[in-house]
Chain A
Amino acid sequence: MAILVINEVSKSFGSLQVLKKISLEVQAGTITGLVGPNGSGKSTLLSTVFGLHKIDGGSVYFQDQPVTGLPPHRMYQKGIAFSFQIPRLFFQLTVLDNLLMAAREHIGTKFYGALFLRHRWQQQETQLVKKAGEILKMLNLFKLVNHKAGELSGGQRKLLEIGRVLMSDPAMIFLDEPAAGVNPVLSREIYQKLHLLCQKGLSILLVEHKLEMLLDFADYVYMMDSGQILLAGKPQAVISDPLFYQVYIGETKNAAVSS
């Protein structure tokens, strides 16, 4: 069953058409990968579908409900979480506070609740803290729990960004290069963890340049170039396609025209 259906989505920045009627589907409980050369529109697709950019045309369905053009915070409430390619953390806040920010339906984040339902949100927070602790242990960030996020290294920031996404118990996550800047052992661990979560029902749409990760963990792969989808299929099939080599590793423009 498709959890996310993207139907002929278009997006232009000025005169530059970045997405040209893109259609794709993400099956529930799978990892679906997007590959393609830089500037092919992968990240734009994720952020446009998530509502960070105004959508120019087409429609998006999530769990059979239309979600086209909803703002990001509404998408989040529907059960989709989004992780940026370059981490956008709250640098003056502690690592723990960064994670707790991602909690869904936290009564203490409302003005009224914070002031008058102190007992209730404190209980909620105790539960959330446990969950945050588990995530931090998994990401090897626990020793920095009460440090400011701004004190973390580049790779650790990326990990925290992933952790923040996991914190919200989403039905689906959009990940933009989850393993970029993370050491090989840990990035494999992240993928293993994501794979495990998928078996429990999480669906993932991600951008990834590391082919070995896609081969090992992705269930389905779309290859994009110049705002269009060129290839789709099982990772093994896509990666061994001659067109893939031409476009992704060889000369981009000629291949796109000849296709």
Chain B
Amino acid sequence: MYLMDTLVFISIFALLSMSLNVEYGYTGLANFGKVAFFMAGAYTYAITISLGLPFYISLIMAALIPALIGGLVSLPALRLREDYLAIVTLAIGEILRIFVKAEQWLTGGVWGIAIPSIFGGLGLSIEMMALANVLFSWGIVIIIFVLLRLIINTPYGRVLLSIREDDIAVKTLGKNPILYKAQAFMLGSAIAGIAGGFFAQYIRYIDPYMFLPLLTFTVWVMLILGGTANHWGAVAGAMIVEMFNRGSRIAKDYLVLPFDPHNVQFILFGILIILFLLYRPYGLFREKPLKTGAEVEILKWQSSSSTK
């Protein structure tokens, strides 16, 4: 059971980490308000499901509403320089959380909202329900993973990467970086929203205190350790950090140490990040060149033109 729970949480974090990867890894947007879009997704799911909508519609809404919020936020914020964007997004995370806490009529305020599980009415045993959740969440992860690979390995992905490298040069090549940044931001927010929607469904009760800024930083740690601009890196990072987190919690009960291993993990993470940034700044998985098909075509063209 504990393993199943771990698997579900890894999948939620994998989604968040992938969504940050779209924004930061590929497009170079430092979003420090990830938790806001995660929360927006969770609350959208909770509210729409309580209105009696079927779960798949709610899940789609949980992607659309955060994407919309992301789009609105991005309009003023994306004109700012990288570091200011980080500050603005951090603030938005807190603003949204305070909004959720205050607007009781909509969100239940500090009392939160209870949400029925998708698999609730099927008469499944607890074990089977957990298994269903694992399969469902990893199904989402696989779909998003495949979709992102499809989107990134295209000329569109090439523009996103170029914006990360030099957005002024992109401007001189006839593409409006603001437009692409907004799209990447919306895409990232939509994925975070799906993660939030699923999280709400799984945990079956949400309140504003579950969405503290710490969550954003956890996702950042995952992405940095796993490797930015690499699809596997985002998933691997989520896996490592979450297992480490849980492992240290278990270790607390079995190891007799003069300190609490669960607290020590935060120190360890700090050290790990510093070590990674010093010696392996690109993370566990390195960025790969794009595979749009052009890299193969050019070699074909070369061999055909040289034989002539």
> Are these two chains actual partners, yes or no?
yes
Binding site for B on A (CB under 8 A): 50, 52, 71-73, 76-77, 81-82, 84, 88-94, 96-97, 100-104, 106, 108-111, 113-115, 118, 121-122, 125-126, 128-130, 132-133, 142, 145-146, 148, 164, 168
Given the contacts A96-B294, A145-B298, A115 and B151 also touching, CB distance less than 8 Å: yes
Give which listed residue, A101, A125, A164, A168, contacts B159 with CB less than 8 A.
A101
The answer to the question of B157 belonging to the interface, with a C-beta cut-off of 8 Å to chain A, is yes
- In the complex, which residues of chain B have a beta carbon less than 8 angstroms from the beta carbon of A102? 173-174
Pairs A–B under 8 Å by Cβ, sample size 17: A52-B171, A72-B172, A76-B172, A89-B166, A91-B165, A96-B295, A97-B294, A100-B155, A102-B173, A102-B174, A109-B175, A121-B154, A125-B292, A129-B301, A133-B298, A145-B302, A168-B173
- In the complex, which residues of chain A have a beta carbon less than 8 angstroms from the beta carbon of B150? 115
The answer to the question of B161 belonging to the interface, with a C-beta cut-off of 8 Å to chain A, is yes
Give the contact-size bracket for chain B: 35 or more
Closest 6 CB pairs of A and B: A76-B174, A108-B155, A114-B156, A114-B154, A90-B165, A88-B169
Q: Give chain B nearest CB distance to A183 CB in angstroms.
A: 24
Give which listed residue, A88, A100, A113, contacts B158 with CB less than 8 A.
A100
Q: How would you classify the secondary structure of chain B's contact residues: helix, strand, loop or mixed?
A: helix
The answer to the question of B218 belonging to the interface, with a C-beta cut-off of 8 Å to chain A, is no
Report the separation of the CA atoms of residues A110 and B162 in the bound assembly, to the nearest whole angstrom. Answer: 14
Binding site for A on B (CB under 8 A): 150-151, 154-159, 161-162, 164-166, 168-176, 183, 229, 287, 289-290, 292-295, 297-299, 301-302, 305
Verify B287–A114 contact, CB threshold 8 A.
Answer: no
Verify A72–B171 contact, CB threshold 8 A.
Answer: yes
State the total of A-B contacts with C-beta under 8 angstroms.
129
Q: Give chain A nearest CB distance to B299 CB in angstroms.
A: 8
Given the contacts A76-B172, A89-B169, A146-B289, A101 and B158 also touching, CB distance less than 8 Å: yes
Q: Give chain A nearest CB distance to B287 CB in angstroms.
A: 7
Q: Give chain B nearest CB distance to A94 CB in angstroms.
A: 5
- In the complex, which residues of chain A have a beta carbon less than 8 angstroms from the beta carbon of B302? 133, 142, 145
- In the complex, which residues of chain B have a beta carbon less than 8 angstroms from the beta carbon of A77? 174
Verify B166–A110 contact, CB threshold 8 A.
Answer: no
- In the complex, which residues of chain A have a beta carbon less than 8 angstroms from the beta carbon of B295? 94, 96, 146
Closest to A92 in B: B165
Report the separation of the CA atoms of residues A97 and B298 in the bound assembly, to the nearest whole angstrom. Answer: 11
Verify A73–B174 contact, CB threshold 8 A.
Answer: yes
Verify B305–A133 contact, CB threshold 8 A.
Answer: yes
Closest to A104 in B: B174
Which of A73, A81, A93 is the most central at the interface, judged by chain B CB atoms within 10 Å of its CB?
Answer: A73
Report the separation of the CA atoms of residues A164 and B170 in the bound assembly, to the nearest whole angstrom. Answer: 11
- In the complex, which residues of chain B have a beta carbon less than 8 angstroms from the beta carbon of A126? 297
